[in-house]
């Protein structure tokens, strides 16, 4: 699939999100927030849900948490132009409360299809609700800063997933800010590992992930993930990140 075709598919999903009434969150929204970024990316960041500013602007991570996300990206010499940023739910929960399980379920097909279109090598989860989609049963306090194969049902069966705290958590608990920056240094390393695994898959002749052409309440079953022979790996600022992490993405 060419980048223009990927973008057209993402735009189509965004149009469906704009008209969505699948859960109660549509009742109080100002604008939907389907996500934004380049269709050519290998890296997708997935947060939890839009806040006040996102609801007004229709864009993800544009408030204080968004400013911190920009700083985190800049710390590895990346920018939003090189990644795709979205959320588990596409409408703001009232009062910025946590999304409810039925709301997450109602919105799940949109994230699934975005991931199937983008087919990322790496998914970076921001917060526990995002993490739960890719690492069922994990506790963020134990797995932040680590990566492993994404679960097949996540919509990104060929990706590694890297767990991080949500930037908003650092606004409430200042001590987490340094943790976020330390964990972020491991993201380019995880991308390098994801590329190596994909190259190995290609050498074995494994087919690419399927693309869902139309909305469906139940996503088609994707290929099985690789055996989890790569355990969750602690990654820190000393984990051998290349001196120029921009070259990791290789998009521009």
Q: What confidence tens digit (pLDDT) does each residue in 153-203 have?
A: 889 999 999 999 999 999 999 999 999 999 999 999 999 999 999 999 888
pLDDT of residue 204: 87
pLDDT band (50, 70, 90) for residue 228: very low
pLDDT at 109 over 70: yes
CATH class of the structural domain 3-205 = alpha beta
Cα 236 to Cα 6, 122, 179, 180, 183, distances in angstroms: 33, 17, 9, 10, 6
pLDDT at 88 over 90: yes
Residue 140 near residue 131, CB atoms below 8 Å = yes
Tokens of 235: 């990654």
pLDDT of residue 248: 41
The model's pLDDT over 24-59, given as tens digits with 9 standing for 90+, comes to 999 999 999 999 999 999 999 999 999 999 999 999
pLDDT at 7 over 80: yes
**Nearest residue to 147 via CA among 80, 236, 86, 74:** 236
pLDDT of residue 152: 86
Q: What is the mean pLDDT of residues 70-91?
A: 98
pLDDT of residue 207: 57
Q: What is the mean pLDDT of residues 217-242?
A: 30
Greater confidence, 247 or 47?
A: 47
Lowest mean pLDDT across 43-52, 113-122, 125-134, 241-250: 241-250
pLDDT of residue 125: 98
pLDDT of residue 206: 67
% pLDDT > 70, the chain: 81
- How many CB atoms lie under 10 A from the CB of residue 142? 9
pTM as predicted: 0.82
């Amino acid at each position: 699939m060419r980048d223009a075709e990927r973008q057209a598919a993402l735009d189509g999903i965004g149009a469906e999100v704009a008209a969505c009434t699948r859960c109660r969150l549509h009742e109080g929204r100002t604008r939907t927030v389907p996500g934004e970024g380049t269709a050519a990316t290998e890296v997708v960041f997935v947060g939890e849900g839009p806040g006040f500013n996102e609801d007004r602007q229709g864009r993800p991570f544009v408030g204080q948490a968004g400013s911190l996300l920009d700083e985190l990206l800049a710390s590895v010499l990346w920018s939003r132009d090189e990644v795709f940023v979205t959320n588990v739910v596409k409408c703001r929960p009232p009062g910025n409360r946590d999304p409810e399980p039925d709301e997450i379920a109602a919105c799940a097909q949109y994230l699934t299809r975005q991931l199937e279109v983008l087919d990322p090598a790496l998914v970076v989860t921001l917060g526990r609700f995002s993490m739960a989609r890719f690492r069922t049963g994990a506790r963020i306090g134990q797995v932040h800063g680590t990566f492993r194969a994404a679960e097949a049902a996540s919509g990104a069966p060929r990706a590694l997933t890297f767990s991080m705290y949500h930037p908003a958590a650092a606004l409430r608990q200042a001590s987490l800010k340094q943790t976020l920056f330390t964990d972020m240094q491991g993201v380019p390393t995880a991308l390098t590992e994801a590329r190596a695994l994909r190259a190995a898959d290609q050498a074995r002749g494994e087919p690419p992930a399927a693309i869902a052409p139309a909305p469906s309440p139940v996503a088609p079953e994707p290929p099985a993930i690789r055996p989890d022979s790569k355990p969750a790996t602690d990654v820190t600022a000393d984990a051998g990140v290349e001196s120029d992490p921009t070259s990791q993405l290789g998009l521009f």
